[in-house]
A and B are shown apart, each in its own frame.
Chain A
Amino acid sequence: DTAVSQTPKYLVTQMGNDKSIKCEQNLGHDTMYWYKQDSKKFLKIMFSYNNKELIINETVPNRFSPKSPDKAHLNLHINSLELGDSAVYFCASSQGPTSSYEQYFGPGTRLTVT
Chain B
Amino acid sequence: QKEVEQNSGPLSVPEGAIASLNCTYSDRVSQSFFWYRQYSGKSPELIMSIYSNGDKEDGRFTAQLNKASQYVSLLIRDSQPSDSATYLCAVRGLTGGGNKLTFGTGTQLKVEL
Please give the residue numbers on chain A whose beta carbons come within 8 Å of chain B beta carbons, in ascending order.
Answer: 31, 33, 40-45, 48, 50, 55-56, 90, 97-100, 102-108
Contacts and interface: CB of A to CB of B under 8 A. Distances in A.
Contacts of B100: 45, 48, 56
Is chain A's binding surface mostly helix, strand, loop or mixed? strand
Interface residues of B, number: 27
Interface of B: 31-32, 34, 36, 38, 42-46, 49, 51, 86, 88, 92-94, 96-103, 105-106
A48 B96 contact: yes
A62 to B, nearest CB: 19
A4 to B, nearest CB: 8
A105 B105 contact: no
A21 to B, nearest CB: 14
B105 A98 contact: no
A102 B103 contact: no
Contact of A44 (B38, B42, B103): B103
